[in-house]
């Protein structure tokens, strides 16, 4: 991409819809570590030969960008393990998919309270730049902790609309790679998908942006996955949104 070009301008687009983890905050590595701890604890209790969760090879294809319980189900299926779905109110444990997901959530919130989120400052500067152009912004994340992360990072006021895991559950919206959460954000902003941009770092996220027929899908490549993002629906890929600043 020509670094002097500006792909997002008010004459082309009315809104930009941002994912959170890996795009604006550096919580993706924390999520991966918490997923590993939770799954390794569980796998060590199954009585089967122990093959630990691999944060490099298991995180991206099975859990990254997906609603928490869908991520649990996806990874377990990759190991040939079936558990009942359970209920979101299940106490953290390993009897159901929801119980495992809730255990991961406990681990993540412990880290969030202790350390707080790391913010990609240049990417946040880009959000502020869009506001200066009069372009609307939305936060679209599978995380049910999105609002807490935004508040802890002091960037909650940068978004006109938030469609996160809690909102998706309330509205019964399918998670990424389905485009439903992005389409809901565009609806709430009162913009057409063709006049909106999706910004994602996860393969499931760029797939969702492509499936929703959005006007532009920007992939954020922080881990060397740029080619995969482009292959799965991103129109362009950058290592940080600061690259798009004038």
Q: How far apart are CA 33 and CA 59, in angstroms?
A: 9
Q: What is each CA distance from 213 to 53, 111, 192, 228, in whole angstroms?
A: 34, 36, 10, 19
Residue recorded with tokens 């002097």: 4
Q: How far apart are CA 165 and CA 19, in angstroms?
A: 12
Active site residues: 19, 21
Q: Which two tokens stand for residue 246?
A: 């004038």
- 161-163 and 196-200 beta bridge pairing: unpaired
Q: Are 130 and 8 in contact (CB under 8 A)?
A: yes
Residue 65, Ramachandran bin (φ over 0: left; ψ between -120 and 50: alpha; else beta): left
Cβ-Cβ contacts under 8 Å for 95 (sequence gap 6 or more): 83, 84, 86
Q: Are 108 and 145 in contact (CB under 8 A)?
A: yes
Q: How far apart are CA 22 and CA 222, in angstroms?
A: 7
Which helix (H) or strand (E) is 203 found in, with range?
A: helix 203-211
């Amino acid at each position: 991409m020509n670094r002097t070009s500006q792909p997002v301008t008010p004459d082309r687009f009315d809104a930009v819809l941002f994912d959170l983890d890996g795009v604006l905050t550096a919580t993706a590595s924390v999520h991966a570590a918490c997923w590993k701890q939770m799954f390794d604890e569980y796998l060590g209790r199954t009585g089967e030969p122990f093959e630990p969760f691999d944060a490099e090879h298991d995180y991206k294809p099975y859990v990254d960008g997906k609603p928490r319980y869908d991520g649990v189900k996806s990874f377990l299926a990759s190991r040939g393990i079936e558990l009942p779905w359970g209920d979101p109110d299940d106490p953290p444990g390993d009897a159901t998919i929801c119980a495992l997901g809730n255990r991961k959530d406990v681990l993540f919130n412990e880290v969030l309270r202790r350390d707080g989120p790391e913010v990609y400052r240049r990417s946040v500067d880009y959000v502020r730049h869009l506001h200066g152009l009069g372009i609307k912004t939305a936060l679209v994340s599978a995380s049910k902790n999105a609002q807490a992360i935004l508040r802890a990072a002091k960037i909650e006021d940068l978004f006109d609309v938030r469609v996160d895991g809690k909102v998706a559950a309330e509205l019964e919206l399918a998670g990424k790679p389905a485009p439903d959460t992005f389409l809901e954000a565009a609806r709430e902003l009162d913009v057409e998908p063709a006049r909106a941009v999706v910004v994602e770092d996860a393969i499931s996220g760029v797939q969702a942006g492509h499936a929703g027929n959005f006007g532009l899908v920007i992939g954020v490549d922080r881990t060397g996955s740029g080619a995969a993002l482009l292959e799965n629906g991103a129109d362009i890929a950058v290592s940080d949104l600061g690259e798009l600043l004038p």
